Amino acid sequence: MSFSKLPNNLPVPIDDGAARHLQGMTLPNVSLKATNGNLINIGYITGFVVITFTQ
């Protein structure tokens, strides 16, 4: 199994619009701890961002 190559028969996802209300919204002024231990205020991030949460 390869995590860098997608299978040829992978179906194309259908956008059901469930997250459409999030477009254009701003992130709140909340500080989250980064993996390096620094606190990052996500309210100051500009542009497109993906935030993941790990344990």
* Sequence ranges of the domains in the chain: 28-55
Sign of the CA dihedral with 34 first, then 37, 38, and 39 last: positive
Whether pTM > 0.85 for this model: the answer is no
For residues 42 and 50, the answer to whether their CB atoms sit within 8 Å is no
What one-letter code names the amino acid at 51? I
- Residue 49: which pLDDT band, with cuts at 50, 70 and 90? confident
pLDDT score of 18: 95
Six token digits for residue 39? 């606190």
pLDDT in tens, 17-48: 999 998 888 889 999 998 899 999 999 988 88
- Residue 38's pLDDT is what? 96
**Closest C-alpha among 34, 24, 32, 30 to residue 43:** 30
Instruction: Indicate the pLDDT class of residue 50, thresholds 50, 70 and 90.
Output: confident
